Amino acid sequence: MNKVKAHLALFAVSIFYSCNYIIAQDVMQGDFIPPIALVLFRVIGAGTMFWIIHVSFIRERIKKKDVPYFILCSIIGIVIAQNSFLMGLEKTPTINASLLVSTTPIIVAGFSVVILKERLTLNRIAGIVLAGIGTAVLLSARGKIDFSNDYLLGNSLIILNATAYGLYLVLIKPLLRTYHPLTVIKWVFTFSAPMIIIISYRDFIQIDWSAFTTYAWIGLIYVIIFATFFTYLFNAYAIKILSPVVAGLYLYLQPFITTVLSIGFGKDELTLHKIIAGILILTGLYFVIKKSFPRNT
């Protein structure tokens, strides 16, 4: 049952991140919040929520010898990953970002082999390849992917995000073997806070609060609660139970879910192209996760 809950958590993360592409980009491109300042809101807002819940229910302490490792995870998973993603999203089209982020499962698999000494089975390799092809096919049907020099900086930042986030998913696995997921995430956010405050302070004080619209406030709240608090917590919970490779593969669901929602709300059309892409993504996901579910005997 725990494995089923872990998969449901990863599915929820895919939904939250799918919506985050559009919402976060609208908040930044509407000149409400600079990308670096938005990271500060995410870290302080979600970090405060982690502290309140942890102090109320968990109250687990970490060992002093683990502090440097927590700081390393903070730098890679928060400072580098979040800043590079939001800065890149501001400087490249959403479709470019979606495609480049879809390289994360491959990165996770590579780091898992090197760092965690995981063995990649034929099923997992086939699943990653199939889902990756399906994602590329699906994104190509949604619009033109532009890797010209005009978006070189933005694309490079998204690649940096994919690498950092993929490495982070692998690095926190050893911590999750020792501590509760909420303990891990609370301290990862706590140790990142001073660095984020230093980096984002100048952008933060330049925010024009009077220009905020209702949509901007709703978008900011969504980014803090759903695209930060729940995504980091649910990912940690799932990785404690499952392999980081499985967690990484769920990133392939993001463009699939976005397309399904768009079709459901009448903003997109169902085509054979998209059906084939969807089948490839779901088949690839099935190959990787099928052994995670308990079998009836």
pLDDT of residue 292: 62
SS3 label, residue 242: coil
* Distance (Å, whole) CA 45 – CA 31: 20
Give 87-147 as a DSSP string. Answer: HHHHHS-HHHHHHHHTTHHHHHHHHHHHHS-----HHHHHHHHHHHHHHHHHHHHHS----
The percent of residues above 70 in pLDDT, for the chain, comes to 93
- Taking the CA atoms of residue 95, residue 101, residue 106 and residue 111 in that order, the dihedral angle to the nearest 10 degrees is 170
Summarize the confidence of residues 141-168 as an average pLDDT: 86
Spatial CB neighbours of 295, under 8 Å, sequence gap ≥ 6:
none
Q: For the residues 208-231, what does the mean pLDDT come to? A: 89
pTM reported for the whole predicted model: 0.90
Each residue of 13-71: pLDDT tens digit?
A: 999 988 876 676 667 666 688 888 889 999 999 999 999 999 999 989 999 999 999 99
Q: What is the pLDDT of residues 56-109, one digit of tens each?
A: 999 899 999 999 999 999 999 999 999 998 888 888 887 788 788 889 999 999
Q: Is a pLDDT exceeding 50 seen at residue 188?
A: yes
Give me the half-sphere count of Cα atoms (radius 13 Å) on the Cβ side of residue 162: 25
CA-to-CA dists, residue 103 to 10, 23, 39, 162, 257, angstroms = 17, 22, 22, 7, 17
